[in-house]
Structure 1
């Protein structure tokens, strides 16, 4: 069957259709709110996968965000309604932020969800205010705090102050890493009793889509948006030292810094070994052709790109920031590299490029770690259970 919502936007109205599979039964009505859906990033992929999983479990899911893109089309294909917001902006803007609060309140009053689930910092602030004032059970998933180490000092202090204020009336927070859980405790953002760690998880792939990490010469893959905090240039500078070795590199992703990185790489004599593939929906297929997963970055929460590498069974070389060490065990399923350390990065790359047997051993352990702690089924079950607990305890 189908349900129609008439949702007010300014002086006009939008008709939203929610297709519900026959016989599934609507167990819960959940609004997933994320700041943006016009970019392809970890939070957006998480919201997509989680929404589809919840819908398959019988929930009615409505996603609201700024902007449209390929992911919103995927949601629609799965019968999940998407409502674009008019007043939400990415940066802090008191005028637009206040209008966004009222816009979201109007939406929530019309939809009447059993639960409001929020993702990303900006949505986390506005959504928690709206949810609190309407008495709707609300949970915020922190995909890496905006006040984490590595964020510019002025922005870090501003967001820490805001999070402490909003934390006083936050109902519950999911952190995607133990690192972020401990960071919130350290800064007295919210009591530990109101937080729960649920590691990100992604759907598995058939065995045929597992990599052969021992294949030589190796193909290196970095899946990351070309924007802060990712550090593509550091990887290129490290590979410059290894240009005499056999390797290829795929950059997967898009963003405002892509042109700069492309221009920089074009000056290398080995530029023909580097491919810029843009945003791709077939990362699993690209990973099966790769032998090493790399992520060089300034800061991080619990990046999905590393889990994608682990899922495909390849070793990971990543900057040791945020929750990365909860996925990559140094010298076990890959290597942890100190931030901005080009010497260690080049050394670890060389070790894996030259040693197919080591890649095979570490890749096997990566796959084991994925199965043990980062499966989609485990993440969905833990999240669904936490959602239920919050609804059942609402007002108690």
Structure 2
């Protein structure tokens, strides 16, 4: 295997990390990575970014917190499979003296090409998995060819321990020597929010048109089948509490369908669609409960934001949510698709202000202790330093 003069990387300075993406799109995983890079100690880790298709809308954000963003598109008509980018990636890794290459599971070109280039350049690679519990037939987090070649990588980054169990049980990770890589948990975290002024709650609730005694349930999720808004609407109807108000933040292809369902169920006074909003932390200040009815998730940032804001969570027990929410302590979890279960938990919280306050306080304490971007940056640093120390 190719080697470099500083084969034991990190011994003579910070670990050099290159994140390879198909495109720097605006997505949850990309935003977490950008925020993580902003909180790295440059004495220990320095990073740059390579995009294989185009820079993308988040490129400037990455430029502001890394050593730069480079784009390596296909080399022309003859480069149909994009394989021409492998030698260009190798040159980039060698020129920059990259120690660790990080690729995200949903950037499919990077997942294949960057891992091959890392081997050829004598660098190590880490595969970062950002999802689990995919429900579509034949759908996977990690493609089969990646699982069968995990031995080529020096690490598999997980969001939570339960994600590792899922990948082992459902996708064959660790089933043979070919499908093994050392596993690291790098939990999602968010930057500390700005302090909320006392008048913010009244301001937001006035904007939403809710009364002082209304119980506002916030659901922040794109309007897609994955988020199962129809189940949440059914739960609101079953809860049968006149003071329960569901505020849906997000947009997507299902909007017309869901608005028609609201009209059909006679829920116009109970449900408000706000569309896509950029001020979610501000909106959370006006809420009482956060809810999510997804059929699959990873570690949703929206739940961390809600807990940090002091809201109890009512959600379906999918993905790694049980690593975020403890039943009866800082929220409630019910099986996926269980509208009756969601309704019962929402009704209980609507009827008991003291319970809402108690669970919300515990949620906030836990989020501010565990789900911070500083913790994410620390775990990322430990991972890449460990990988860089290991011989390829």
**Matches of 1:84 and 1:132 in 2, distance apart?**
20
Q: Does 1:195 align with 2:183?
A: yes
Q: Does 1:204 align with 2:192?
A: yes
Q: Does 1:240 align with 2:223?
A: no
**Aligned CA distance change for structure 1 residues 185 and 80 (closer, same or farther; 3 Å):** same
The structural deviation recorded for 1:50 is 1.2
**Alignment-derived partner of residue 376 in structure 1:** 373
**Matches of 2:291 and 2:55 in 1, distance apart?**
29
**Aligned CA distance change for structure 1 residues 225 and 62 (closer, same or farther; 3 Å):** farther
State the secondary structure of the residue aligned to 1:154.
coil
Q: Does 1:53 align with 2:39?
A: yes
The structural deviation recorded for 1:348 is 1.1
Q: Is the 8 A contact 1:52 1:80 kept in 2?
A: no
State the secondary structure of the residue aligned to 2:318.
coil
The structural deviation recorded for 1:35 is 4.5
**Matches of 2:152 and 2:42 in 1, distance apart?**
32
Q: Deviations over 1:76-112 (max 9, x none)?
A: 4556634456459xxxxx9546466566556545544
Q: Does 1:43 align with 2:40?
A: no
Q: Does 1:138 align with 2:125?
A: yes
**Alignment-derived partner of residue 218 in structure 2:** 221
Q: Deviations over 1:142-194 (max 9, x none)?
A: 1124xx4x4323234x9552232131322101110111112333354247770
The structural deviation recorded for 1:223 is 1.8
**Aligned CA distance change for structure 1 residues 256 and 32 (closer, same or farther; 3 Å):** farther
Counterpart among 129, 138, 146 of residue 154 in structure 1: 138
**Alignment-derived partner of residue 167 in structure 1:** 150
**Aligned CA distance change for structure 1 residues 103 and 378 (closer, same or farther; 3 Å):** same
Q: Does 1:63 align with 2:49?
A: yes
Higher RCO (CA-CA < 8 Å; seq separation 6+):
2
**Matches of 2:254 and 2:71 in 1, distance apart?**
26
Residues 286-295 or 260-269, more deviating: 260-269
Map 1:252-263 → 2, pairs under 5 A: 252-263=249-260
**Matches of 1:239 and 1:272 in 2, distance apart?**
11
The structural deviation recorded for 1:135 is 2.2
Unaligned runs of 5+ in 2: 1-12, 206-211
Counterpart among 277, 290, 298 of residue 293 in structure 1: 290
Q: Is the 8 A contact 2:34 2:65 kept in 1?
A: no
**Aligned CA distance change for structure 1 residues 332 and 389 (closer, same or farther; 3 Å):** same
Q: Which has the larger radius of gyration?
A: 2
**Aligned CA distance change for structure 1 residues 335 and 126 (closer, same or farther; 3 Å):** farther
Unaligned runs of 5+ in 1: 1-25, 89-93
The structural deviation recorded for 1:338 is 0.1
**Aligned CA distance change for structure 1 residues 255 and 389 (closer, same or farther; 3 Å):** same
State the secondary structure of the residue aligned to 1:325.
helix
CA RMSD, aligned part only? 3.3
Counterpart among 364, 369, 380 of residue 367 in structure 1: 364
The structural deviation recorded for 1:359 is 0.7
TM-score, structure 1 as length reference: 0.78
Map 1:1-396 → 2, pairs under 5 A: 27-39=14-26, 41-54=27-40, 59-65=45-51, 71-78=58-65, 81-84=68-71, 86=73, 96=81, 98=83, 104-105=89-90, 107-108=92-93, 111-121=96-106, 122=108, 123-145=110-132, 148=133, 150-156=134-140, 159=142, 161-186=144-169, 187-190=171-174, 194-208=182-196, 216-242=213-239, 244-271=241-268, 273-395=270-392
Q: Deviations over 1:44-77 (max 9, x none)?
A: 2212211222277675432344556654343345
